[in-house]
Amino acid sequence: MLDPYKIREDFPILKRKINNHPLIYFDSAATSQKPRQVIEAIKEFYEKHNANVHRAVHTLSQEASELYENAHEEVAKFINANGMEEIIFVRGTTEAINLVAYAWGLRNLKREDEVLVTLMEHHSNIVPWENLSKINGFQVKYAEVKDDGTLNYEAFENAISDKTKIVCLPHVSNVTGVINDVKRVVKMAHECGSLVLVDGAQSVPHLPVDVKDLDIDFLAFSGHKMLGPTGIGVLYGKRRVLEEMEPFHGGGEMIREVTFDTITRRCSISWNDLPWKFEAGTPNTCGGVGLMAAVKYLKDVGMENVKAHEETLTGYVMHLVQECKKVRIHGPKDASVKCGIIPFGVDGLGSHDVALFLDGYGIMIRSGFHCAQPLHEKFKLKSSARVSFYVYNTREEIHRFVDVLKETERF
């Protein structure tokens, strides 16, 4: 098991006080805090190596290019991809999903086709497909979710057919923390000839993810949710699929050659090798360096340890919150089927009221729809409060949280 007290020493922000109370950060599903190792890696890059990558032969450019390529390699190893050719750096999960929608979907989805998603999706895995369906005319279908927030696999199986060209689902729900059986879904999808896109924003930071074992075609995730900086994320894609796709953005870096034909008066363009084919323009080199430092940090901690720690904290909250009379937990109560995410409500109070009350005691939580309004409608909720844990959270913080919840009830 990891030692959260030792880990906390690496996070400067956790020494802050909010409203004269020690900061308790329970909003890591929205964004994680950053360890000193990541902060120092970013600082060192700008102080010693800053230059544009793949643009020059001078020393700084060569150093920056090597760091940026090493970052791709580290991420590839972290999720067990075949190499950096399968790792595309983007701004985050949202851009990764949009890349698949427009670089693959725009050219491959026809009017008679279907895209299958679930009712537990983050909006970023709904909106791109709905927007694209207005252009190409295909149908977006939604797999049902059970009343406890788990995926209805039987309904999912009934919804998939030979018309289904891509299946999209979250590995972990950002509302309930439910861990979906991705391998089961992949088997169904591949038997029907469908590709599979997995939203890994809440899984890659919190549990071991092996893309070869899962056999998924695409995986999208964000650096800022896994101890890295904002503005950097990853799209993993199987090499054969990426090679068949056209680029998403056009510009510098993603081309091999642009030549002008004086007869046709047109430019002839050929694409760069993977992954650069999908990374147009000056990249977020510093973000890649920060993400590499975050990946190394998590590898040192051990992803099995991260998962076990969060499961322990989740179970502990489930146990202690039984002492509260007006607190209602939404979704499954079994900590073993979840990552460290718990949505809840307090009778008589809106989620924002609960969040503001807790903020008065230095406890940071999320409130609202969490960019997943259809799932809240399924639960018949106007919104929910949400606590989410990570490697730096402790049992003492949970005790404090439950004590303040009791104060909230009295309020």
- Give the catalytic positions in this structure: 371
- Report the distance separating Cα 401 and Cα 362, nearest Å: 10
In 10 A of CB 342, how many CB atoms?
28
Phi, psi of 348 (to 5 degrees): 90, -5
Per the CB < 8 A criterion, the answer to whether 198 and 170 are in contact is: yes
In 10 A of CB 2, how many CB atoms?
16
Beta strands in 312-378 (DSSP E): 327-329, 341-346, 363-364, 366-368
Phi, psi of 360 (to 5 degrees): -60, -20
Per the CB < 8 A criterion, the answer to whether 180 and 200 are in contact is: no
CA distance readout (Å), 220 to 95, 204, 388: 9, 9, 20
Residue whose structure tokens are 């844990």: 389
Phi, psi of 271 (to 5 degrees): -85, 155
Kindly give the residue spans of alpha helices, DSSP state H, lying in 197-284: 211-214, 239-244
Q: 14-47 in b/e burial notation, b at 16+ Cβ within 10 A?
A: beeeeeeeebbbbbbbebbbbbeebbebbeebee
Bridge partner list, 166: 115, 195
Per the CB < 8 A criterion, the answer to whether 344 and 386 are in contact is: yes
In 10 A of CB 255, how many CB atoms?
16
The DSSP output letter for 167 is E
